[in-house]
Amino acid sequence: MELANDIDPRTLSLEGIERIDLNFPKFTDGRAFSQAFLLRRRLGFTGEIRATGDVLIDQLVQMQRSGFDSAVLREDQNMAFAQAQFGRYQAFYQGDAVHTLPNFAAPHAQQTGAAA
């Protein structure tokens, strides 16, 4: 299913849908981030969410945190640089669409005493 970025995902029936493509018409238009977050957190969508359109490598980490599973990069983007983005940030203080607990409240923090 392709979803225009001005559609509210809460108005859709997601039954039987396995993948939703969310479009970034311009890299400065972030409405698809909100759609992905709604799909994952509020609607419990477990299928694939894919970013399409004007997708740049510097958006990838935030896409992952918002609930995207995959992205179709703009043609001029370097795949090796894109993969490197994910290794740059090992943890985040805030929760996100995928890992809902903040870092200090996550089970690993309690085991290591990092919540002090």
Which contacts qualify for 14-18: CB closer than 8 Å, 24 or more apart?
14/39, 14/43, 14/45, 14/47, 17/45, 17/47, 18/47, 18/48
- The per-residue pLDDT for 107 is 67
Which domains, and CATH codes, for the chain? 2-90 (3.40.50.2300)
pLDDT beyond 70 at 101:
no
pLDDT interval class at 115 (50, 70, 90)? very low
- The per-residue pLDDT for 61 is 86
Dist CA 9 CA 34 (whole Å): 10
pLDDT interval class at 17 (50, 70, 90)? very high
Three-class SS of residue 89?
coil
At 45-70, the pLDDT tens digits run 999 999 999 999 889 988 888 999 99
